Amino acid sequence: MFLEKLSRIFSVFSFNRIYIVYSNTAVTAPVFTPESMATAGGRMDVVARSILYALYDQIEQRGDTLFIGLLNGPPRPPIALYVWRLSLQSRSELEVGEAIRRALLGERLDGIEVENGARITGILETVRKTHRVYLLDESGIHFSHFTFTGKNAFILGDHIGIPAWIISSIGNMLDGAVSLGKKSYLTSHCIAFLNELMDRA
């Protein structure tokens, strides 16, 4: 599947890191407020928090990272949310939530695009041309066996996890499955840990 907006982003920008977060429940319409992301937003707070951890280090925006949120909640899934730059006043989760809501409304925002009908297989067809692609999985190979230099993309689940049929459908598109340990961690914490690993590489 050709994804026009993602292809255009790749033609203009270069990213060393890509985080792809599969959300089972995040809504695909602007039916929430920043304060109701966890309820009316179908756990859109997980997506917003992950964006913050992906795009920012302790001081500023990284500038070399693309966040892709795959939203599969009602009413019109799937939708891909592409975020590579944000203009925030307070660098808060609520402010990110408002940016997501406005993007779903169809507003043009710098550094954010929404693509209807985007599926993970189509996204990986584009991403794997330039990046090594890894699935985060507790049963994968321990991260200490990998050297994350160059351009890397990571697929992460939400609080529910990635459906087994999705994992099966992308198996031949992966460069490996990476484990951060046998314990399950918050999606945003996994992103923070991966950023730390690559900052040190």
What is the predicted pLDDT for the residue at 57? 86
How many domains, in total, are found in the chain?
1
C-beta of residue 66 within 8 angstroms of C-beta of residue 74: no
What is the predicted pLDDT for the residue at 90? 85
Q: In angstroms, what CA-CA distances link 105 with 62, 98, 99, 116?
A: 27, 10, 10, 13
User: Quick one: pLDDT band at residue 152, thresholds 50, 70, 90?
Assistant: very high
| Cα R_g (the chain), whole angstroms | 16
> Which pair of tokens denotes residue 158?
């939400």
Taking every pair of Cα atoms in the chain, the longest distance, rounded to a whole number of angstroms, is 43
Select from 126, 118, 122 the least CA-distant residue to 10.
126
- Crossing angle of helices 44-55 and 187-200, in 10° steps, is 10
Burial of 4 (0-12, 13-18, 19+ CB in 10 A): exposed
- Domain coverage including residue 35: 4-200
User: Quick one: pLDDT band at residue 153, thresholds 50, 70, 90?
Assistant: very high
Select from 107, 105, 101 the least CA-distant residue to 37.
101
Distance in angstroms (rounded) separating the CA atoms of residues 112 and 168:
29
What is the predicted pLDDT for the residue at 2? 81
> Which pair of tokens denotes residue 72?
């599969």
Q: pLDDT tens digits for 124-145? A: 999 999 999 999 999 999 999 9
Res 1 pLDDT > 80: no
CATH number, domain of 92, equals 3.40.1280.10
Q: pLDDT tens digits for 57-111? A: 877 899 999 999 999 999 999 999 999 999 888 889 999 999 999 999 999 999 9
> Which pair of tokens denotes residue 152?
């890397």
Res 187 pLDDT > 80: yes
Q: pLDDT tens digits for 19-54? A: 999 999 999 999 999 999 999 999 999 999 999 999
What is the predicted pLDDT for the residue at 163? 96
Average predicted confidence (pLDDT) for the chain? 95
